[in-house]
Structure 1
Amino acid sequence: MDPAAGRPREALRAAAALTSWSAGLQVVIRLLTFLLNAFTLRYVSKETIGVVNVRLTLLYSTILFLSREAFRKACLNVGAEQKWAQVVNLLWLTVPLGVLWALLLCWIWLQLVTIPDPALIPHYEVGVVAFGLSAIVELLSEPLWVLAQAHMLVRLKVIAESIAMVAKCVLTVLCVTIAPHWGLCIFSLAQHVINPRLAILTWTFYKQSFLKQVLTEGERYVMTFLNVLNFGDQGVYDIVNNLGSLVARFLFLPIEESFYVFFVKVLERGKDIGHQKQEDVSVAATVLEMLVKLVLLIGLTIAVFGYSYSQLALDIYGGSMLSSGSGPILLRCYCVYVLLLAVNGVTECFTFAAMSKEEVDRYNLMMIALSLAFLGLSYYLTWWQGAVGFILANCLNMGFRIAHSLQYISHYFKHSENRPLVGLQLPRPLLLAYLGSAIVTAFSQASLSQQGLMALSVHVLLGAVCLIIVLITIFFTEPKFVWFVRTQFLSQDKKET
């Protein structure tokens, strides 16, 4: 038996194991984060939350994204014949690059954007410097992160990230409890020989990463530089954004990261499908079909049930400050955005793993136009519809990106018997189950006029019954999908690489 024949199967098992562990880690991390946010809301103002979670976190994520994202994508394409010493040498360039970005962006955050009122938000300058320094410190671990991800060292990655998150949460809680008047200082303290071909690929992904960052964090840039929302509204938007993206962060992101590694290991970048091993192509197509089905079903479930239970979720989490006003409509719109986000994550994951350098360059040109259009739409729609405009702009952005990825995937498998995009098709009984659930829960939500305990209990019970019906329908109408989930994500036999 050909030893190479089992290579895609081993890669699939490793990717599924990495996804499962990463998803579990993300659940714990997000649970801690939301408990922390719920706790700090009792001690600090929503304006402080807005400055930290929008402006300073944007600074932090921008430095990290522009310094390491391209290196991650390029270096995870390394094959068995590649000398890892060269890869590590390339990865260390993230640190000086991060220093340059930190100096430039901290200067912009201090000089070119509106400084918060010191009486309302003290220690803003300290926060900017501390968040910039903490990003540089995190970049020091980048070579180890890429090595762990490429070799799928699941437990090492989970343990390291868990320790970092727990330490941050404990420090923040202690500081908020002891000295809540410190404001931003508390959050700031808690944050705290090259291969030419690989370098060229890194530069290609670097240009793409810069544009992707604009599309990913575009609303925060508009908030920061154009002041379309006050800090209080920014705080509410960020809390709703974090709550709405909970599943996207703890499930969709691990899937995207893990299976990007799987696709680059199984497929040869830039090669026509006819010049690759057909077993590898078939496995990749099957996995892509099942992943598209998985995220579609999760996203559709969130969109259907999110409409009727957004207000209840916000009331439980943050009280009337979140459940009144624009909070519920923001979360309802965000649930629809999560559906688009889910499909885009998996389809782009495959697309970026299969594209040649030239195709990535052409895609970058399209991203330039898309970035400019997105920023313009964000500003106009926010001026017209308030914070909801940001979500509408994001939905349009995701729609264009999904269309491009679907077109690429369709063309990629044009001369193959494999049709992975059938994963987007749902059987009629399942569609009817979703439609019936949406109608029943919407009527139940509309009848909650007094918000009494009995009415709320009935509302929750109806939602639970509808969800069970949907899950049972999935089980009987999607046997291939159920088998894939059981064998790849729920099986106890998966080996750690």
Structure 2
Amino acid sequence: MRLFFFFLTELSEVFFFLHFYLSFHLLLTSAQLVGLLFRTGLIEPAWRFFRNHWKTPLCQKTLFNGASLLSSRCLSPYLFFSEMPACEADGEGRERRLRPRPAPLLLTGSRRDCGAISWRRRPWPRRTCSARPPGWPPPAPCCRCAAAPGSSSSSSSSSSSGVPGGSRPSPSQPSGVSFPCQVLFRAVTFGLNAFTLRHLSRELLGVVNVRLTLLYSTVLFLAREAFRRACLSGSTKRNWTKTINLLWLTVPLGVFWSVFLGLVWLHLLEVPDPSVVPHYQAGVVAFGLSAVIELLGEPFWVLAQAHLFVRLKVIAESLSVVSKCVLTVVLVILYPQWGLHIFSLAQLLYTSVLVMCYIIYFGMFLGSPEATKKSFPVTRMKALLPKVVEDETFLNWKEARLTWSFFKQSFLKQILTEGERYVMTFLNVLNFGDQGVYDIVNNLGSLVARFIFLPIEESFYVFFAKVLERGKNVKDQKQDDIAMAANVLELLLKLVLLIGLTITVFGYAFSQLALDIYGGSMLSSGTGPNLLRCYSLYVLFLAINGVTECFTFALMCKEEVDRYNFVMLALSFTFLCISYFLTHWHGSVGFILANCFNMGIRIAHSTHYIYDYFKESTYRPLTGLLPSPVLILVYVVSGVITVFSEVFFCCDKGWMARLIHISIGAVCFAATIITMFCTETKLVHFVRSQFLSRYMKKGT
């Protein structure tokens, strides 16, 4: 009972400060927003749009994505959240992204799409007869599009044929878990994470979130990534016995990598001070063992993924995350002296619950009337174990060779994906405390890139690829299409530029306050505020780079893409080298400065491509990067005022001083938005027509 009241008191304190701050800020912002809507005449269409669409799946998905990002991306990668799988299988059993991501094999953002370089595959879009900016109602397909093999009319039958019985859920089908429950789950875990951060040291967070998580992710990546990609390729109509035999090879491979890397982590890397981070050796063993336990469920996972068991995936990951969350909080309160034992036990519980969910589900599903009705390819649990088939090979050698081809790419891909963490871990450029703070701030900063810029990049990549033909110069394109693309690109550049400038200007003065509310003095003192301030500047680079590259990639021919891939590969290793030197000079801020340099080079390349593309025409879309001088002046004045406000009122002068600082920031923000509406009328019209009016007409 004492534990319960202690936990309730601490949690209520966290939620009180969060609620008080957010309610006050939301009240001011809402009043300003309503005033602007009345002045611009948008209040009536906005209310009509919300009234007609708030119950639609698109609107609920948008709300849920916002809640999910606020919960999962603000958290450390270890504590309470596991990344949702980015891919599912389509009707033919091939790997399919849950969100359309603009391909060829490209080196683009980090593991969080904003950091070290990573690989991302973008599908070549089919050029249709008509294309409109995102938000426009889709045109009626012509006969050529309607009869195309990839059209909906023809794909519906082919997709259903992949599953025995002809009933296959769509990848966009709801998971079956109610929307309020998912939002409540994310909100609770977000609050619990903020609570837990106040009871942990920086050094412990650094070891868990960087050192041990890197061991866990590296073992899993090297052991199963190639197998997943190979076994999810092709049709679901296959010899599943041989595929399952191949998948079970991930277990001995995982044992090998776990032992090998575990020895490296124990004997070749710096060992934390036992008085600060106790039980490091046990933590290495536990995280390596948890990776092997998770590999025991790999055949079940691939089988579920190939047949689109979305609800199973959501429930299994939710239960495992909740179990890890609850155990971590309880052990942190009861036995804080246990150190890494807390996270070791929580990690083992997480992987065990995850695997058991799949095992229990298939144990109940296989042999059931539903499985028989669908002619499911596996009929009993024993068939999910390795099995030697008489007069047949043990493996499907075509899949095995494909796995080996993917495996040879794994090393380079993993190094580029986790570049920052490998630099931290093997080169000792940061102490464990700075590593922990950097990881949390990096997750916080990536919220904007994930929630705002990534959807814009993905949507308009498809638009540009449909409007303009790849590989043709500006003279060979239709002039109407060129005019539309140039106009949209100019306004889109201005939109993301203003968003990035707003985040940079106001993020600088409110970084310390945000970190203090979220994680207490552990984050708001030391290097945390400077990290978030630099990340606010990095967001501006991310905003511009996302749009310029989405246009460039939509028009590059295959030869240009191949050349660009080599440039990106060289730039990736340059980034790692610059990160090493800058962190020696500027500490953890050096990683963000290296990312800014990396993004600056990529922006220079893509803007040069855009300039060369349009130089033979009368259009100059790069002028979108030049905002109004009056608006620039307002940004400068707002930045100066909020910086002085932070000096005088934040953050160790009590909550009344903080509220004054927030009020000053709200007034400056309102002045900036009003100036934006007055000086950028063309942009305002673009936003109204593309993101509001078209959806409203579509709904009515």
Q: If the length of structure 1 is used for normalisation, what is the TM-score? A: 0.74
Distance in 2 between residues matched to 1:61 and 1:287, nearest whole Å:
40
Shift of 1:351: 2.0
What is the total number of aligned residue pairs between the two structures? 454
Distance in 2 between residues matched to 1:104 and 1:267, nearest whole Å:
50
Larger mean CA deviation between 279-288 and 218-227 belongs to 279-288
Distance in 1 between residues matched to 2:262 and 2:419, nearest whole Å:
19
Aligned to 1:77: none
Contact 2:206 2:433 (8 Å CA) reproduced: yes
Shift of 1:448: 3.0
Distance change in 2, residues 1:470/1:28 (3 Å) = farther
Distance change in 2, residues 1:485/1:55 (3 Å) = farther
Aligned to 1:323: 524
Contact 1:98 1:139 (8 Å CA) reproduced: no
Equivalent in 167, 171, 180 of residue 323 of structure 2: 171
- State yes or no: 1:126 paired with 2:286: yes
Aligned to 2:572: 371
- State yes or no: 1:7 paired with 2:209: no
Distance in 2 between residues matched to 1:354 and 1:212, nearest whole Å:
25
- State yes or no: 1:54 paired with 2:256: no
Shift of 1:174: 1.9
Larger mean CA deviation between 367-376 and 318-327 belongs to 367-376
Shift of 1:460: 1.0
Distance in 1 between residues matched to 2:321 and 2:251, nearest whole Å:
26
Equivalent in 583, 595, 602 of residue 382 of structure 1: 583
Q: Residue 526 of structure 2: SS of its match in structure 1?
A: coil
Distance change in 2, residues 1:7/1:366 (3 Å) = closer
Aligned to 1:183: 342
Distance in 1 between residues matched to 2:519 and 2:481, nearest whole Å:
48
- State yes or no: 1:37 paired with 2:177: no
Distance change in 2, residues 1:10/1:452 (3 Å) = closer
Distance in 2 between residues matched to 1:281 and 1:140, nearest whole Å:
49
Q: Percent identity?
A: 54
Contact 2:131 2:463 (8 Å CA) reproduced: no
Whichever residue aligns with residue 460 of structure 1, its letter is I
Contact 2:579 2:591 (8 Å CA) reproduced: yes
Larger mean CA deviation between 177-186 and 388-397 belongs to 177-186
Whichever residue aligns with residue 481 of structure 1, its letter is L
Distance in 2 between residues matched to 1:413 and 1:97, nearest whole Å:
53
- State yes or no: 1:485 paired with 2:691: no
Gap regions ≥5 residues in structure 1: 15-23, 73-83, 149-155, 193-198
Shift of 1:412: 2.4
Aligned to 1:226: 427
Q: If the length of structure 2 is used for normalisation, what is the TM-score? A: 0.54
Shift of 1:315: 1.0
Distance in 1 between residues matched to 2:690 and 2:684, nearest whole Å:
10
Whichever residue aligns with residue 696 of structure 2, its letter is D
Aligned to 1:419: 620
Shift of 1:216: 6.2
Aligned to 1:344: 545
Q: Residue 240 of structure 1: SS of its match in structure 2?
A: helix
Distance in 1 between residues matched to 2:673 and 2:305, nearest whole Å:
36
Distance change in 2, residues 1:35/1:489 (3 Å) = farther
Distance change in 2, residues 1:104/1:331 (3 Å) = farther
Contact 2:538 2:592 (8 Å CA) reproduced: yes
Contact 2:649 2:660 (8 Å CA) reproduced: no
Distance change in 2, residues 1:277/1:242 (3 Å) = same
Aligned to 1:473: 675
Distance in 1 between residues matched to 2:466 and 2:252, nearest whole Å:
33
Whichever residue aligns with residue 394 of structure 1, its letter is N
Aligned to 1:332: 533
| Greater RCO (CA < 8 Å, at least 6 residues apart) | 1
Q: Residue 7 of structure 1: SS of its match in structure 2?
A: coil
Structure number with higher helix proportion: 1
Distance in 2 between residues matched to 1:29 and 1:347, nearest whole Å:
37
Output one character per residue of 1:437-486: Cα deviation in whole Å (capped at 9) or x when no partner: 01111111122375133322211110000001111111121122222323
Counterpart mapping for 1:23-172 below 5 A: 34-42=190-198, 44-55=200-211, 57-58=213-214, 109-113=261-265, 114=269, 119-121=278-280, 122-128=282-288, 130=290, 167=319, 169-172=321-324
Distance change in 2, residues 1:244/1:414 (3 Å) = same
Higher CA-based Rg: 2
Contact 1:29 1:165 (8 Å CA) reproduced: no
Shift of 1:275: 3.7
Distance change in 2, residues 1:270/1:252 (3 Å) = same
Whichever residue aligns with residue 7 of structure 1, its letter is A
